[in-house]
Amino acid sequence: MPNYLEEIKIQLHLWPWSVEIPEESRPLTGGCIEFSFYGSPVLSISHEAKLYIPSRMEQFKPLGPPYDKARYQVYETPHGILAGQAALKKLRIRIADKTFDVEFNAQDATERLIPGSSNLSQKTRTARCVDAWSQVFDDLLDKATDSKDEYTSEISWSVILDYLNQINKDAAKEPRKALIVGIAEDMINRLPITVTSARKILLRCRDFVPIHRFQESDVHCLRWYVQQPGGTKEEKAGNKQRLLAVVRKEFFNTLENQVLKDFIIRCNLESSRYLQGEQDKKKSRRAMVVQSYQ
C-alpha cells in the first residue's frame, strides 16, 4: 500500500473521544481492519481525502468541526458498514486520482433489523434491549428535578433506585412504560379530532372545467379562450366541452399538517416496535392501549 495513506493518517477511533489516542485508534492502510465494536466508532481523515460507500458512492457528512488546524475531519461510521451484509462492509477512500477500498470486521457488532426484513419495526432482540435502556435513561432525565420542581442536570441515586424497583414491580403484570404508552394514553381520544379538523386553505389556480361550472377567469384564461377556434363557447370548448377557468382547490399540505403527519408516522412506527418487543404481554392494559392507538 502506498505510503501517502499513512502520511495523511486515516484512522478509525473506537470512541468519538479517542481521536489522537493511539491505544484506541486503528490506522486504515487498506485491506481488512478488525476491531472491537463498542457502539460509536468514528473515522478521522485528512482534508485531502474523501470517504464513500462503494455500493452507491455516497459521500459522508462530517461529524463536528475540523481539528489540528483544520487539517483533519471526523466522520461518523454508518452502522450498516459495521454490522450490515458482507458486501456493504466496505469504505472507499479517494485521494486525488487514487482510490482504495477498506473492509471492516467489527467484532460483536450485530444488525439492527432482523436479517431479511426491510421493516424498520422488525428489530433484533439486542436492538430492542438498547431501545428499552434508552427509554429508561430518558425517563430518568424527566425525573431530574430539584426541590422547586425545576429541571436539573443531576439526579440522586435514590431516585434511580426507586425507579428501577418500580420497573421491576410493574414487569410482573405490565410491560415497560415506554414513551409511546404515555402518548397513546394522552392522545387516543384527541388525535382523531385533530385529524378531522386539520387546517386547510383554498389555493387559486387554473384548471379545465365543464362549461356549466365556468365561473371565474383571468388574463391567462382569456388569452387561451381567444386562441381557440370557433365562435361560441361551446365550439371553443372542443370535444371535451371544457374551458380554462380560475378555480379554488383545497390544500391540506400546510406546515402544521406536515408536523401532524410526521408525528402520526413516528407513532405508528414506535407502536409496532413496542408491540414487537412486548409480545408476551400483548393482553396487558398498556399493550392494548398502544394497539388501539396504532
CATH number at residue 41: 2.60.40
Same domain for 78 and 163: no
Same domain for 34 and 162: no
Residue 26 located in a structural domain: yes
137-166: pLDDT as tens digits: 877 877 777 667 777 777 888 888 888 887
| Lowest-confidence region among 89-93, 235-239, 267-271 | 89-93
Same domain for 186 and 69: no
- Cα–Cα distance between 213 and 211 in angstroms, integer? 5
Same domain for 274 and 188: yes
Same domain for 79 and 15: yes
Compute the mean pLDDT over every residue in the chain, rounded to the nearest whole number.
79
Please count the other Cβ atoms lying within 10 Å of the Cβ belonging to residue 284.
15
Three-state secondary-structure class, residue 2: coil
Same domain for 136 and 99: no
Residue 5's pLDDT is 41
Same domain for 209 and 183: no
Same domain for 101 and 209: no
Q: Where are the beta strands (DSSP E) in 137-220?
A: 201-210
Mean predicted confidence (pLDDT) in 186-190: 85
Residue 117 located in a structural domain: no
- Cα–Cα distance between 97 and 50 in angstroms, integer? 11
Per the confidence metrics, is the pTM higher than 0.95?
Answer: no
* Domain of residue 63, residue span: 4-107
Total domains, the chain: 3
